[in-house]
Amino acid sequence: MARSFAAAAVLAVALAMSACALARPAAASIFAADAAGSAVGSFYTNGTVYAAADANITNESRAVRLYATADSNSWTDGAALTDVSGGYKSISTNSSGHMPLTLLWSGPAVGSYDIAADVNADGYYNSATDTVYSLSAAGFAVVQNPQPSLAVVPGPYNPSGRDWPVGNTSHATVMQLTLSGGAPATTPQTWG
């Protein structure tokens, strides 16, 4: 009887250790980032979305799948992960479980999205092992590129009906040019 108790204890410890190896560290968080690894909440359609982590996403070296998914505020265990960026990205964590900065999506479409790290690489969300950015709000947004506009307006020293002398004259502002990305600039720049 003592022998079967010892065997059961060894089996229980082995099962607990394998569960710990697969479980993500409590502080692990993935996020949308720029090429330098800085957190970014929104991107333009001509931009590039990267995935980064601020802590290890597992406790060992593992093959992991990264998904850009449509935003969801109701993640449920067992839900199939569907990538909207053209296919999930396969990465490998190092021996400590660190995830490298990873290009997730070039030229993303307008919308709101989440990022899922499928730590057991099975294609399904598992709350015990997988990490999602963000479970309760959009992880990141993609907006349309602003269209630049050019406005030509009279400068402050350009009274209407001014008679311009011919030849060498003193320096005077003739016009202001404002170049902005979509919305008008708040302070026009003057060249003259």
Helix, strand, coil % in the chain, rounded to nearest 5: 10, 35, 55
Same domain, 105 and 161: no
Q: What percent of the chain has pLDDT over 70?
A: 62
- State the total domains in the chain: 2
Q: For residue range 62-92, what is the model confidence (pLDDT) as tens digits?
A: 999 999 999 998 888 999 999 999 999 999 9
Q: For residue range 102-140, what is the model confidence (pLDDT) as tens digits?
A: 999 999 999 999 999 999 999 999 988 888 988 778 889
Same domain, 119 and 185: no
Same domain, 15 and 71: yes
Which of 32-36, 73-77, 167-171, 185-189 shows the lowest mean pLDDT across its residues? Answer: 185-189
What domain range includes position 66?
2-143
Return the closest-CA partner of residue 94 out of 130, 133, 55, 67.
Answer: 55
Which residues are within 8 A (CB) of 55 and not within 5 positions of it... i.e. 6 or more apart? 25, 27, 28, 29
Band of pLDDT at residue 142, cut at 50, 70 and 90: very high
Same domain, 137 and 186: no
Same domain, 124 and 156: no
Band of pLDDT at residue 94, cut at 50, 70 and 90: very high
Q: Which residue has the higher pLDDT, 80 or 57?
A: 80
